[in-house]
Amino acid sequence: MHRTLRAAVPAALASLAIAASPVAAFQPTVLLGTADPGVDITLRDHQGRGSALAATGDVVELGVRNGVLLWSTDSGQTWDNDTLIAPRGAEAAVCAGRAIAIHTRDVGAERFVRTSTHQLAADISGGRDWTDTGVARTPDGACVRNHELAVAWFRKTSDGWKVRVRTGVPAGDDLSPQTFDLGSGTPSRGLAVAASADRVYVAWFRGQALKLRRFAIGGAPGHTLSSLGTTTLALLRYGNTPELGADGDRVILAFMDRADLKVRRSTNRGASFGSPRTLRNEPFPSEIGAFPTTVAVKGSRVAIGAVELGGIEELVGRGLGYKSTDGGATYSRISSHSSGRVVATLVRPGSVYRYAELWDESISDPSAHRIRFRRQ
């Protein structure tokens, strides 16, 4: 059952409020909640489908790590939330009428992949474990035809870390799950999953190699995946943190390379990609870098959330938001928050998808952290 913000994260988030946005192009800012002193909140992911939104965050109080799944059904005007118990690496999705957190959980010396879900139209929570043995790291997932999830993660084997992909329903029992092994991967560099109406994409690093596996999505009722092969997109000695978004023929891949925030675009369903475009140019080598947090694509609109982070004795940086209205051919930076991370997505309050963002205060680290939302 969903609860108020304060109940969902004890001593963490409190009341709702409305404040004026300082940017005329944005609707009024919504304050989701304010943390009590000593509680740190860091946003991780933000995804939209129609007028529904889902987001995840880490919540740390007195050294105890929990998390929060947040959701809205009215394009971000109001929000509900629920607690995630000791999650690691929680990513968000909106699928099959549910807000979903995709994360790992520790079970003794093992670490399982789990989805925690909440039905958007009812007070019903659920979930499932996607693994029941071994050690998994940094899972991510995407919604397949608003029916089921495609979830990818790194799994530890006797031959090193491997990448595994599995399909299945967000909660309950699978009727016809599929499992794919994609070969070796490097967990410290991250992975990402995205889906369009007829494709699923998985990006990950194998050492310096940035890899992409494509899958075709079959018809109803099973929507069976068929592998279309793996491509090496680039060799990046200092590359990491891939994020993916896809819709129609377009696939947008953002990542960090040599401390710079970069993005590449495909207009043929991932068969090939254009040259990298630098969205945020950073000195290298140095103590600061910029990396993506989210990528969303709907038609000709693209939203990218990012964070510029550095510092030696004290954390410095800012959250950044980028928008494209020409399918990723060009970008404008439309948001900058010196307080903390930005996680951006696209939401449809009417007939058109709009840029939307959440941001935290994990960089400025005030005595009472806030999470805020706004959309265009």
By C-alpha distance, which of 116, 82, 121 is closest to 101?
A: 116
- Quick: pLDDT tens for 278-303: 999 999 999 999 999 999 999 999 99
Determine if residue 365 is left, alpha or beta; phi over 0 gives left, psi from -120 to 50 gives alpha, anything else beta: left
- 358 beta partners: 343, 373
Mean pLDDT of the chain: 92
Element (H, E) at 20: none
Backbone angles phi, psi at 188, to 5 degrees: -65, -15
Instruction: Give the per-residue SS3 of 30-79.
Output: EEEEECCCCEEEEEEEEEEECCEEEEEEEEEECCEEEEEEEEECCCCCCC
Position 123 scores a pLDDT of 83
Strands (E), 236-274: 239-247, 250-257, 260-266
Percentage of the chain lying above the pLDDT 90 cut? 85
Position 175 scores a pLDDT of 65
Angle at 326 between CA 324 and CA 329, to 5 degrees: 80
Residue range 357-370: mean pLDDT, rounded:
96
pLDDT range class, residue 15, cuts 50, 70, 90: very low
CA 290 to chain CA centroid, Å, is 16
Strand 191-195 relative to strand 199-206, pairing: antiparallel
7 pLDDT more than 90 = no
By C-alpha distance, which of 91, 121, 87 is closest to 105?
A: 87
pTM given for the model: 0.93
Name the amino acid, one letter, at 376.
Q
Gap between the Cα atoms of 182 and 152, Å rounded: 10
10 pLDDT more than 60 = no
Residue range 134-144: mean pLDDT, rounded:
97
Place of tokens 């996680």: 343
Place of tokens 């009428």: 97
Position 14 scores a pLDDT of 39
Residue range 40-69: mean pLDDT, rounded:
95
2 pLDDT more than 80 = no
Gap between the Cα atoms of 192 and 256, Å rounded: 13
- Quick: pLDDT tens for 201-259: 999 999 999 999 999 999 988 899 999 999 999 999 999 999 999 999 999 999 999 99
If one counts the domains in the chain, the total is: 1
Gap between the Cα atoms of 181 and 165, Å rounded: 6
Residue 80 belongs to what domain range? 5-375
11 pLDDT more than 50 = no
315 pLDDT more than 90 = no
332 pLDDT more than 70 = yes
106 pLDDT more than 50 = yes
CATH number, domain of 240, equals: 2.130.10
